Amino acid sequence: MAGLLHVTERMREHTGGMKQIRVELINTGTEILLGSIVNTNAAWLGNRLFEAGFRVERETVVPDGYAINEAMRESARRADIVIVSGGLGPTSDDVTREALCDVCGVDMHRDEQVAERLKSYFERRGISIAECNFKQAMVPDGAAVLENSNGTAPGLVMPASGSLPMFILLPGPPSELKPMVEQSVMPLLEDLADEDIPHLRVFRLVGIGESDLQELVDDSLHQVEGLEVAYCARIGEVDVRLVGSEVALKQGEARLRILAGAYMLTPAGVSLEKAVVLHLAEQGLKVATAESCTGGLIAKRITDVPGSSGVFEFGWVTYADRAKTKMLGVPEDILKLHGAVSEPVVKAMAKGALDRSGAGVAVAVSGIAGPGGGTPEKPVGTVWLAWAFRGGETRTEMMLYPRDRGSFRQMVSQKALAGLLDARRREQVTE
Amino acid sequence: MAGLLHVTERMREHTGGMKQIRVELINTGTEILLGSIVNTNAAWLGNRLFEAGFRVERETVVPDGYAINEAMRESARRADIVIVSGGLGPTSDDVTREALCDVCGVDMHRDEQVAERLKSYFERRGISIAECNFKQAMVPDGAAVLENSNGTAPGLVMPASGSLPMFILLPGPPSELKPMVEQSVMPLLEDLADEDIPHLRVFRLVGIGESDLQELVDDSLHQVEGLEVAYCARIGEVDVRLVGSEVALKQGEARLRILAGAYMLTPAGVSLEKAVVLHLAEQGLKVATAESCTGGLIAKRITDVPGSSGVFEFGWVTYADRAKTKMLGVPEDILKLHGAVSEPVVKAMAKGALDRSGAGVAVAVSGIAGPGGGTPEKPVGTVWLAWAFRGGETRTEMMLYPRDRGSFRQMVSQKALAGLLDARRREQVTE
């Protein structure tokens, strides 16, 4: 990271007294233009930079090859900071490094420190290093290296100089780009950000649809001066995004809490699974899962959360009828009489999971994800859910959500997890 | 749709004898640049156009406002067809129509047919029409109208003229854009497409890294005339994308199979979980899963595949030590002696799952996903995997993959699933 200290200094000189720093984003990769992959890096960077006080003013996607040079030259004429993702890897179509040299009129040299890191990266994994990898140790003269903690291609920062903007080159894979931005780029940019940043807060709500939510809160939120409001609906949840001054944001949040607080996840903007883990930990409760149609998705989402081992120990994926009987003790005659997708069966699954795990609460789901398996009586998209509480009642719910397999499974996992929070509300009421 | 007949005629004149028609895409919308929404329109259009014989050569995202005019002017200098999405709605920040007039130097007029359609759209829904909606009936002189069967904003096509390219203006919402492209834009473009369309094939490989793969196959693939080769690495897998004539593609595929066939998923381009389900079904095998650190992800991925109930019935998520003992019969003394992340424990987990499920093969994983839980001896990223085969041996493997929690879990699930395919190869060898 030597050489980075002077980067922000030079940047300040470059932008002079300007209020708003102009940022442009270039994503390279033929696979993006062909639609083989969706450009999630752009959305993530746009959002992350906005949080830090920068607004991306243009985003350009170009194929691998000489188009990168042209795009960099064009962005250089408009922007103060140009962020380029992709094309830093070891293969022959990775040419962003060369493009930077071309645009800035510099040569490159082999950086022995980077070469050593590459060697030890492969050594640690017990793999012999292919020669082409050393291409990644080539550093344009004057550029600083950003260490890649999750891959081989290091990032590069070329300080602003003369009429040229600051260039930041990042690897394309999101699992490498994101940590590099957090660890190296943000500390670099934070000093540069506009002091008078508009603030952004995202609130996540579950258990209410987008249009109902809008009817409930939109008029009131728009009465707050200088507050921008936007909604973003996903399967089984809606995000409300508020942008404005700190004062406007506080007013907006207060209104949202009064009108729709019952649906808001806490802390604000947290994922549903995280809200569930935090809530269970608070209550000293453990949860067990018994899944049929979701096939492990509910357990997977809970264990996505670091520290979830404090609240989750046992999960069953009982995909077949005989698994429900053998693993959870669901009586065969109930399965025969009512079918696997039925209230008595999910009840028995939840109780079986509760007894066998010793957990405080167990959630069970059984449904028809499709595309096959539907009947006129129980069409694709039918699901039964049950939540069994230690020493208490078992709640059940039926839902019909006839969508594609992936959306259905996501929605069922939303419902199952949200039910663990509903429990909280219900308990608070009866206490 | 009157006025469209002459559009393709003029386009032909414009491109003259040119072989490849240059297409650029402009997406407008501040919400895309802020990262509030992911630009799925771009991926969908890129893919759909490529199938029809066109290649998007550049994609530009600009905020609502005057930036649209600039972006259109720039694309006009490079491209034969410029497709613009967004900014055709009724509100004040919808200015793409005006930008088209500015760039083409034309005025606009109210199209009474469009105005009538707007009125009846609202009447059918029993809503009174707000005056601002009639903005959508304004049509730039010389442009043809594309009917919107799923919303109010009609699309627009401005034929190529002089040095200006053909402009196609589409509404932003995917639910309106996609049907309009299918119904109106594709019929218009199909006649223009290069007869000799390049074909695309994607091959997915697991068990080999990007740079090793390139060393193995790149030289050979580049010897095939007219074959474009690109690599795209994700966690635990690499896609090889071949583009070219049918002949070049066949030659490329043959070379790839000879050199790296052992790593290729079949059928070509299929996901790993799908390849596993197909393979197990072919072999008449069922698989059971016993997961610790992946917390259900392996079962989730298998059951993502429609029809997976034929090969998967039982899954255990044994997140706690006592769950491993209680659910799978892992002896307590082994857990105490070796710790949960150890070869003896994953072996016992896999055997326990095999016995309890009656499956033909069971896979077990136990590792430290982090961020907590690491020790100097077993750092975060350590994982043991085991595959137990009915009436056969149990294979085990240790891996160190010190990344963020999500990447680690994804990699472990890759390894676990790929091991089920390795089994196939191994069996084919010993048969």
State ipTM: 0.77
Report pLDDT for B430: 33
Taking CB atoms and an 8 Å limit, are B316 and A315 in contact across chains? Answer: yes
Q: How many residues does chain B have?
A: 431
CA atoms B416, B417, B418, B422: torsion sign: positive
CA geometry: angle at A346 spanning A345 and A348, to 5°? 65
Residues 6 or more apart whose CB falls under 8 angstroms from that of B419 comprise B363, B385, B387, B395, B397
Q: Give the span between the Cα atoms of B284 and A235, in whole angstroms.
A: 36
Q: Give the DSSP letter string of B337-397.
A: HH-SSSHHHHHHHHHHHHHHH--SEEEEEEE--SSS---SSS-TTEEEEEEEETTS-EEEE
Tokens representing B246? 């049918």
Mean pLDDT of the region A118-122 = 89
With a cut of 60, say whether residue A8 has pLDDT above it: no
Helix or strand (DSSP H, E) at A411 = helix A405-430
Query: Based on C-alpha coordinates, what's the Rg of chain A?
Result: 26
Q: How large a percentage of chain A has pLDDT more than 90?
A: 66
A323: closest chain B residue by CA = B314
B398: closest chain A residue by CA = A125
pTM score, whole prediction: 0.77
Q: Give the span between the Cα atoms of B256 and B219, in whole angstroms.
A: 11
Strand intervals (E) in A74-148: 81-85, 108-110, 138-140, 144-146
Which amino acid, A8? T
Q: Is A266 exposed, middle or buried (0-12, 13-18, 19+ CB in 10 A)?
A: middle
Which one of B34, B308, B318 has the shortest CB-CB distance to A50? Answer: B34
Closest residue by Cα to residue B157 from B196, B194, B183: B183
- Tens-place pLDDT, residues B245-302: 889 999 999 999 999 999 999 888 899 999 999 999 999 999 999 999 999 999 999 9
Tokens representing B311? 């090969």
Closest residue by Cα to residue B200 from B40, B47, B401, B2: B47
**Cα pseudo-dihedral A267, A273, A277, A279, rounded to 10:** 50
Query: Based on C-alpha coordinates, what's the Rg of chain B?
Result: 28
Which one of A34, A58, A322 has the shortest CB-CB distance to B61? Answer: A58
A289: closest chain B residue by CA = B317
pLDDT interval class at A275 (50, 70, 90): very high
Closest residue by Cα to residue B130 from B95, B174, B91: B91
CA of A63 vs chain B CAs: smallest distance (Å): 7
Q: Give the span between the Cα atoms of A394 and A376, in whole angstroms.
A: 28
Low-confidence ranges of chain B (pLDDT < 50): 1-3, 5, 17-18, 424, 426-431
Which one of A130, A322, A370 has the shortest CB-CB distance to B211? Answer: A130
Cα B306 to Cα B18, B277, B311, distances in angstroms: 45, 9, 11
Q: Is A6 exposed, middle or buried (0-12, 13-18, 19+ CB in 10 A)?
A: exposed
| Least confident window among A167-171, A420-424, B76-80, B323-327 | A420-424
CA geometry: angle at A198 spanning A192 and A204, to 5°? 120
Closest residue by Cα to residue B409 from A110, A305, A329: A305
Q: For residue A93, which residues of chain B lie inside 8 Å, CB to CB? A: 229-231
Q: Give the span between the Cα atoms of B152 and B224, in whole angstroms.
A: 49
Closest residue by Cα to residue B387 from B425, B406, B415: B415
Report pLDDT for A15: 52
